[in-house]
Structure formats: C-alpha cells, structure tokens
Chains A and B, each alone.
Chain A
Amino acid sequence: MSDRKSRNIKVAMLARVEGEGGLEVRVRNGRVADVKFRIFEPPRLFEAFLRGRRFTEAPDITARICGICPVAYQMSSVHAMEAACGVTVDGQLRELRRLLYCGEWIESHALHVVMLHAPDFLGYESAIHMAKDHAGQVTNGLALKKTGNAIVALLGGREIHPINVRVGGFYRTPTKRELRPLVEPLERAREQALAMLAWVKGFGFPDFERDHEFVALRHPYEYPLNEGHIVSSLGLDIPAAEYERHFVEEHAQHSNALQGAKRAPVEGDPGAVKSYLVGPLARYSLNFDRLTPAVQQAARDAGLGPVCRNPFHSILVRSVETLWAVEEALRIIAAYEPPDAPAVGVEPRAGTGEGATEAPRGLLVHRYRIEADGSIADAKIVPPTSQNQRSIEEDLWKFIEPRLELDDATLTWQCEQAVRNYDPCISCATHFLKLRRVEDQRTRRC
C-alpha cells in the first residue's frame, strides 16, 4: 500500500463530450477559406463497456454519460430495450416518464438560459458577474432549476443520475399525495418561466438565419419527449428503427469528435452526407402546433413565429419550452392515478431495439442488440451533440464571414456565443474557445 502514495493516475480520455473547443479560421484574400471546430471527444467507452452487461443495467450505466440530462439517456435506453423485447409501457407509467423528463427539461433549460447563455447577450464574463446586476433573474432561474430538480429527485430517487428508472417502468411509483407538494412550486415556476421569457425577449439578437434541415421527434398529438417518429423539415418521417438507414456518424480528421450526418446520396457520390440540426429550434419548428395555445401565444408575444431559423433565438425557444414543460408537468400531476404496478414485466429475447427521445439538447438515439439471455451484445449511442457538430461548423463559417473586420477578442466572444446557441456540453468554462486566425501566410494567435 505504501507505494500508492507516490503514484499518479491520470485519465487521459474521459467518456463525456465536453471540454475545450478550438476554432481555426483560415482567411484568404479577405474571405473565409476554412473553419475547423475541434472538440476533444474520447472513444465511446460507454458503448464498449455496455457489452456483456445485462440489458436491465443500461439505464443506470448510460445515465452516467451526462450529469445534467441523465434522464434523457435513461429514457432512450429503456425505450430501446423495450423495443428489443417487444414491450410497450403505457398508461400512468408512460405519463410518469413524461413527468420525469419535464423535470429534466426545466432544470436543464433554466441552467442554460440563465447561467450559461444569458451572460453572452448581456456582455458579462459569466453568470457570477451578471448576478450582481441581474440578481432577480438569476434567483428566478435558480428557483426554476430547483423545481426541475425536485421533480427528478421525487420520481428518479435523486437529482443527479436517478436510480428509480428501470426497463419496464420504475422501481417505485409515487402516490398522489407524494406528488402534491410539487404543485405549488410548479405554479410559481409558471410565472418564473414567463418572467424568464420576458427577460430574454429584450436581448439583442444578431441577424443570422440558416436553412438547416431540422430533425426531431413528432408525435400524433403531443409535444415530443419520449415517443414519436423521427421527422425532418425536408419530409423525412421514419420510426426510430430506421435511424441508421438515414443517419451516420463519421470521424472527421481534424477533430477527435464523431460528427453526425444525414445520408444524402447523389449521382456519382452514393456516400454523400449533409448536416442537419437537432435540438430546441428543430423540435419547436417541427412541433409548434403541438404546443398548447397558451404557450404558442407566449412564443408569439416573445417575437417567435411557428418556425425559428435564427440560432441565437434558441435562448427564446428554450424559455418557451421551459414554460411548456412546467404546464405539462402540472397537467400530468392533476390527472395522475397510481398504476397497479411500478413496472411491466420485460423478458429478454434476442433482438435489436432502438429508442429515440428528445433530450433537452435534442434527439438522442440508442440502439442495442441483446442476446436471448439478456446480455447486451452491441450498443450505439448517438447524442445530440454529435449530431449537431457539422451544423455548428457550417454555422460558424457563415457567421464569421461578414464579421472579419472585428478584432480577435470581439470575434472570439461572438463565436463562443454562437457555439452556446447549440450545446452547453461544448462551451464549458470561460475562455473555452481558443480562436486562431490564420491570415494568408501569417498567423495571429488570440
């Protein structure tokens, strides 16, 4: 034991998509010639060490992929396993899953809007700096986050990496009485969400639109969380089981990150792919009619139309979705009747199952192949971050082009803000972005 004192154990590769991002801009004759956005992503260790584990362990293991959206990973994994086993979870168990997901959306969106993104719009280095001048809004956001956490803690067993989710349902379901204490905070949260939306509505937004192909779930009658077909703004409409027929992940040479892409074969290039966008803008634009009339009106009052193509408006859309999630949570609690059992029985069988759910940051797809004895033979997990990277890179290229006259510090700031439109997992800490502008043959470092 004594030699352990002098040992240094380092983890060279962490199994999360987060960390520093690098950006290199190449300028030729006053035009952007190339933009490379680098993310350090390690090998998909989760997909590897899921192999051989029992199918029932997937929700607990995959929850560890993310500390702020563990419910998303749990939901995609249980739906995929249930699909493989030919089981459907319906009724109040289904509603409880939606309620749990609402909790995660509320806390994730509130954190991102107030603590991560708003400082960019208001010119603050961080939320801590912003809090001095906007204490009321920061406190409001923290209260929203607390309410979301309370839902996750009650239904999931704890706020982070819930432990009450299982294939087939839950280990324990709440009584009506146990859900009742959530009502008052949620009713306050409705006002808090409206206040958050009113606040961000007043921000200045760069005039920047992109013609993304939006991809999200769409349900026959609900704003999507756990169920629905995968649809796109260009007419795609497929069940989750067909995801890999239309989408791929590729390793880009300039980055350690896998990049999602949509198959777009053309004559002479059957392997051609293109970018697409998942997340709040996609989800909102493809499902505006599934929002309640009150939430639709709140969106309109905030200046949004049924379709939103300005990535900087994602902070508005997240605020709208926070309001929707609060109302949806209240609806579910009001109608709740405890189910007869906390879970349905799920017997393993050899086969493959896919699960696609809407994480706060966008479509999250799991696919598992399991053996007859219930062991996991193969796993594939495609997070929204992976799927959005091409779009992020393309957006940055188009965003930077008309702004080359800006000094490096200003341009770096705006690029970081642009990245935070898409995914907080990438934009982690202050000075996360190292902008390296390469002009002609000279290199200027920021």
Chain B
Amino acid sequence: MYAARLVRALLWPRARMVECGGDTTALIEAWQGEPAVLVVDAMSSGAPAGTVQRLDAARGPLGAVFSRGSTHGLGLAEAVELARSLGQLPASFVIYGIEGEDFGLGTRLSHAVECAVREAALRISEELLAARN
C-alpha cells in the first residue's frame, strides 16, 4: 500500500488506484473491464528483505509466494487464479512483490523494505509511463 500511495501521490495521480486491505476477492470485481492491471503486494518468499520481484501473471499461474493458504481469506495468487478460471483476468496483469522483513502487528517498515517500496514505486511509474506512451 505504501508503494501504491507513493505512486499515486508523487508520480501518477491520474491512474485508478484501489487499495485492498485483506479481501482479495474484492479485487476481482475492482479490475473488471480494465485492460491492464498492476498490483503491488508484500511477499514472503525467502528472498532477502527488500527484494523487489516483477511477475507477469497473464502469462501463467503464480507461485506460492503470494499464496496465503488460509481459510480466512484468499491470497493474491488464489484471487488471480480464480479470476483466470472465471475468465476475468485482464489481458495485462503484472504483480510487483516486495519481500517483507517483519510481519508482526504494529511494526513499521524496516529500512530495507522502505527502500524497496521506493524502488518499486519508481519501477511501477516507469512501467505506467512506458505503457501510456
């Protein structure tokens, strides 16, 4: 969310931004009719904290790094695959994942993650600008 807000506030005010606080199934409806969607999310893949990964979800199934594996809500991977099954995945669907460091309640962003947020925001903005042109 920090990355998305940074992109919206500083670099790309006109893009339609949707924040999702937990129920990723709501995203499926949010991206209805959109030709291109870019999602930024935290991930826990075992990579060093602050790693930024770009995944082209339109090309094929996502891995487990975005899967929450919980009955309490679908993870982003499940929501994407569900949309794919329903024929509701946009033609262009890119995910930027930022490797987290501490997922404890109430903790602030670590230095590594804060740097990664800025990096992700810049890369997302560049991608959006390139797509616009």
Contacts and interface: CB of A to CB of B under 8 A. Distances in A.
Contact of B29 (A128, A146, A160): A146
A132 B84 CA distance: 9
Interface string B29-59: 1000000000000000000110000000000
A442 to B, nearest CB: 32
Contacts of A5: 48-49, 112
Nearest to A112: B71
A393 B78 CA distance: 30
B71 A116 contact: yes
A115 B21 CA distance: 20
A342 B85 CA distance: 44
A58 to B, nearest CB: 16
Contacts of B73: 67-68, 160
B25 A142 contact: yes
Contact of B81 (A9, A66, A67, A128): A128
A425 interface: yes
Most chain A beta carbons < 10 A, residue from B49, B69, B71, B102: B71
Contact of A429 (B69, B82, B87): B69
Interface string B58-95: 00000000000111111000100110111100000000
Given A68-B71, A160-B23, A128 B85 contact: yes
Interface string A119-133: 000000001110110
Nearest to B112: A5
B69 A428 contact: yes
Interface in A43-74: 64, 66-68
B70 A132 contact: no
Nearest to A6: B48
A146 B29 CA distance: 9
A66 B110 CA distance: 26
B60 to A, nearest CB: 14
Interface in A103-121: 112, 115-116
Contacts of A174: none
Contacts of A129: 85
Interface in A131-164: 131-132, 135, 138-139, 142, 145-146, 149, 158-160
B87 A135 contact: yes
A18 interface: yes
A131 B101 CA distance: 34
A427 interface: yes
Contacts of A159: 21-23, 26
B110 to A, nearest CB: 7
B70 A428 contact: yes
Nearest to B83: A131
Nearest to A152: B23
B6 interface: no
A9 B48 CA distance: 13
Contacts of B101: 4
B105 interface: yes
A9 B78 contact: no
A142 B29 contact: yes
B28 interface: yes
Contacts of B26: 146, 149, 159
A1 interface: yes
A424 interface: yes
B94 to A, nearest CB: 20
Contacts of A424: 71
B47 to A, nearest CB: 12
A188 B61 CA distance: 33
Contacts of A18: 70-72
Most chain A beta carbons < 10 A, residue from B26, B48, B111: B26
Contacts of B87: 135
B111 A1 contact: yes
B29 to A, nearest CB: 7
Interface in A397-436: 424-425, 427-429
A392 B111 CA distance: 46
Nearest to B71: A424
Nearest to B67: A429
Given A4-B110, A64-B105, A149-B23, A135 B86 contact: yes
Contacts of A1: 111
Query: What are the nearest 8 A-B pairs in CB distance?
Result: A131-B85, A67-B72, A160-B22, A424-B71, A429-B69, A68-B72, A128-B81, A428-B71
Interface of B: 21-23, 25-26, 28-29, 48-49, 69-74, 78, 81-82, 84-87, 101-102, 105, 110-112
Given A128-B84, A135-B85, A145-B25, 10 more contacts: A128-B78, A128-B81, A135-B86, A138-B86, A139-B86, A142-B29, A149-B23, A159-B22, A427-B71, A428-B70
Interface of A: 1, 4-5, 9, 18, 64, 66-68, 112, 115-116, 127-129, 131-132, 135, 138-139, 142, 145-146, 149, 158-160, 424-425, 427-429
7 contacts: A5-B49, A68-B71, A112-B71, A128-B82, A128-B84, A128-B85, A428-B71
